[in-house]
Structure 1
Amino acid sequence: MTTTRFAPSPTGYIHVGNLRTALMNYMIARKAGGSFILRIDDTDPERSKQEYVDAIQHDLEWLGLTWDRMERQSERLDRYAEAADKLRAIGRFYEAFETPTELDLKRKKQLNMGKPPVYDRAALSLSADEQAALRAERGNGVWRFKLDHERIEWSDGILGDISIDAASVSDPVLIRGDGQVLYTIASVVDDTEMGVTHVVRGSDHVTNTATQIQIIKALGGTCPEFAHHSLLTGPQGEALSKRLGTLALRDLREAGVQPMALLSLLARLGSSDPIELRTDMAELIDGFDLGRFGSAPTKLDSQDLYPLTARYLQTLPHTAVKADLDAAGVPEDKQQDFWAVAKENITTLKDLEGWWALCRDGAEPLIAEEDADFIAEAMALLPEGPYDSETWGKWTAEVKEKTGRKGKGLFMPLRKAVTGMERGPDMSALLALMQVVRARG
């Protein structure tokens, strides 16, 4: 069975970059009728917080990305310890004691010599007594996986055939000196034991994948199919990390972005398929093809989410937004007619309140000096409310007859006087909803 996973760290709120990874894995699983696992990478006890776990679940639920099971790595530490013991037993795990300063000096020396800045495996030559002395002086060392110096190759679902020389990569640290298990081994153990068949993640993980392939094989596991999607940048190609503060899913939700707008954009961004609004997840899944994504950095402009949100709102009946209409203060008997007018003129549901305020309280008239006398004469002809869908047509016809104005010279000044705006909804429908027209005086 096809099984994928999304493994966020609960050290902060998830953002659009995280969502892209989650969405691809979700769609692969759902398209194949498989299983999607939400796996919380919480092996760092100091930085992991339950509030972020709750927020991750809330964000995914808001988007409709349902998971079939949830796992927490903090509850699987015994499994990682067993894997570490197995690696020690086969001679693929060793303890190293260098300080960060010593490692930095080694890297600089290697770079000056024109060599790749990889760990020199000096710890392998330490005697038991030397290890004991260093442990007494510095505390426990880190545990590194001993790579086989050979080429590591796989067929990537997006990047194509990949080949990495393991000799150009440092033996990865899998367990820190304080005992914290790192992602590199925890992920391998979980993927193997949970039967994960496909792993899609960012291209910044390519080197991790190379080392993890060797770890999987050393532990006797089966490698999943790997794919590495491009990294997102800002609209000008700038590093997205500088702007992630505004691209957390919770912030986009608060700004009024609709889930299907966000999903429609991220499900196709970076692929050869056009970005088009889809109104349900099934449509996105049906058209998803990992092979249509490219490797080049992918530009994301969060402003693109707002036209998609506006178009999505236009597809909804008033019953779908009743809670928002209630919150804006729209009376029950006016909601259907009001929504028919408002949905064509809003970007997000946050805009509803302003449109209802216009209908309820009227607007500050916008009157050009040369139109002042005309507006005064026209307003004297406007009957008292309530208004209906016929009022605008009858009124403008009478104003035209009395003043001789016609066309744009007639309609534009009247619209500006009634609504305070130069453009907007059909005036027959809008005036029928208005309870106050301030320019009447």
Structure 2
Amino acid sequence: MTTTRFAPSPTGFIHVGNLRTALMNYLIARKAGGTFILRIDDTDPERSKEEYVDAIKQDLEWLGLHWDRVERQSDRLDHYADAADRLRKMGRFYEAFETPTELDLKRKKQLNMGKPPVYDRAALNLSDAEKDALRAERGTGVWRFKLDHERIEWNDGILGDISIDAASVSDPVLIKADGQVLYTIASVVDDTEMGVTDVVRGSDHVTNTATQIQIIKALGGACPRFAHHSLLTGPQGEALSKRLGTLALRDLREQGVKPMALLSLMARLGSSDPIELRSEMAELIEGFDINRFGAAPTKFDVQDLFPLTAKHLQSLPLSEVAEAVAEAGVPADLAEPFWAMARENITTLGDLKAWWDLCRDGADPLIADEDRDFIPEAMALLPEGPFDGETWGIWTKAVKEATGRKGKGLFMPLRKALTGMERGPEMATLLPLLQVIRARG
């Protein structure tokens, strides 16, 4: 069975970059009728916060990305300890004691010599007595996985054939000096024991994947199918990483972005398929193909979400927006005609209040000098109420016959006088909602 996972760290709110990973893994699982696991990477007790665990779940639920089960890495520390013991017994796990300053000096020296800045494995040459002395002086060291210096190869679902020389990569630290288990081994153990078959994540993890493939094999596990999606940039190609804090999903929700607009964009962004608004998750699932995504950095512009949101809102019946219409102040008896008028003229539901304010309170009229006499004459011809969808046509026909005006010279001055705007909704749908006019009728 196909099994995927999304493994966020609860150290902050998830953003559009995280969503890309979550959505791809979700769509792969759902298309195959498989399992989607939400795995909370909370092995860092200092930075992991329960409030962020709750926020991650809320954001995924808002989007409709429902998981089949939740796993927490903090509940599985004994599994990681067991894997570490097994690696020690194999001679693939060793303790190292260099300080960050010492490691930095080694890297600079290697770079000056034209060599790759990888860990030199000096710790492997320490005697037991030297290790004891270093522990007494510095405390427990870090634990590194000893890579086999060979080429690590796999066929990536997006990048194609990958080949990395393990000798060009430092032996990864899997356990910190304070005992914290790092993602590199925790993820391997979890993926193996949970039967994860497909892993999609950012291209910044490619080297990490190479080392994890060796760890998986050392522990006797089966390698999942890996795919590394491109990283997002800003609309001008600029690094997005510095702005991700302002692109948290909850911030987009606050700005009025609707889930299907966000999902429709992210399910196609960076692929060879056109971005098209979908009305339901099933359409996204059916049309998803990881192999259609490219390796090039992918431009993301938050402004692209708003036309999609507007288009999505236009498709909704009143029943799905009734709460927002009521919150804008619209009386229940006018909700249906109000939504019919407003739906084509809003970008987000937050725009509803301004339209109701116009309907309820009117607007300062815009009357050109040449229309000073025309507007009072036209208003005197306004039919008796109640007004309906036919009133605008009846009224403008009468005004045309009385004044000889027609076309834009007839309709535009009336619109500007009634709404204070040069453009907006069809006046036939707006006129019956204008409260000042209704009261006169």
Asked if Structure 1 and Structure 2 have the same fold, meaning a TM-score greater than 0.5 normalized by the shorter chain, the answer is yes
Q: 1:83-139: per-residue Cα shift (whole Å, max 9, x none)? A: 111111110001111111110110000000000000000111111111111111111
Tell me, yes or no, if the aligned pair for 1:363 and 1:437 is still in contact at 8 Å: no
Which residue in 2 is equivalent to 1:250?
Answer: 250
Instruction: For residue 24 of structure 1, report the CA deviation from its aligned partner.
Output: 0.4
Secondary structure in structure 2 of the residue aligned to 1:398: helix
Larger mean Cα displacement after TM superposition, 390-399 or 190-199: 390-399
Equivalenced residues, count: 439
Task: Read off the aligned partner of 2:256 and give its amino acid letter.
Answer: G
User: Do the aligned partners of 1:385 and 1:435 also contact (CA within 8 Å) in 2?
Assistant: no
Deviation at 1:383, TM superposition (A): 4.8
Cα distance in 2 for partners of 1:17, 1:302 equals: 12
What's the counterpart of residue 107 of structure 2?
Answer: 107
Alignment partner, residue 143 of structure 2: 143
Aligned residue number for residue 406 of structure 1 = 406
Please state if 1:372 is matched with 2:372.
yes
Deviation at 1:386, TM superposition (A): 4.1
Whether the 8 Å CA contact 1:92–1:145 is kept in 2: the answer is yes
Structure 1 match to 2:337: 337
Provide the C-alpha distance between the structure 2 equivalents of 1:6 and 1:277, rounded to a whole number of angstroms. Answer: 24
Q: How does 1:30-429 map to 2 (within 5 A)?
A: 30-383=30-383, 385-429=385-429
Greater displacement, 425-434 / 107-116: 425-434
Q: Distance in 1 between matches of 2:330 and 2:55?
A: 31
> Matches of 2:437 and 2:106 in 1, distance apart?
78
> What SS class does the counterpart of residue 344 from structure 1 fall into?
helix
State the Cα distance separating 1:385 from its structure 2 match: 4.9
The SS at the match of 2:338 is: helix
| CA distance in 2: counterparts of 1:97 and 1:365, whole angstroms | 77
Secondary structure at the aligned position of 1:257 is classed as coil
- Separation in structure 1 between the aligned mates of residue 90 and residue 178 of structure 2, nearest angstrom: 23
Higher alpha-carbon deviation: 259-268 or 425-434: 425-434
Q: Report the AA paired with residue 12 of structure 1.
A: G
Hey, what's the Cα distance between the residues in 2 that align with 1:400 and 1:242?
Answer: 59
Determine if contact 1:111/1:117 at 8 Å carries over to the other structure.
Answer: yes
SS at match of 2:196: coil
1:58 positional shift: 0.3
Q: Give the AA of the match of 2:112.
A: N
Give the TM-score normalised by the residue count of structure 2.
Answer: 0.98
Shift of residue 81 of structure 1? Answer: 0.6
In the TM superposition, what whole-angstrom CA distance separates every residue of 1:309-361 from its partner, at most 9, and x where no partner exists? 11111111111111111111111121111111111111111111111111111
- Higher deviation after alignment, 167-176 or 360-369: 360-369
Output one character per residue of 1:359-393: Cα deviation in whole Å (capped at 9) or x when no partner: 11111212223322222322233356542222212
**In 2, distance between residues paired with 1:372 and 1:135?**
92
SS of corresponding position for 1:363: coil
Q: 5+ residue gaps in structure 2?
A: none
Secondary structure class of the residue paired with 1:436 = helix
- For residues 220 and 2 of structure 1, the distance between their equivalents in structure 2, rounded to whole angstroms, comes to 20
| In 1: Cα distance, 2:290 partner to 2:388 partner | 53
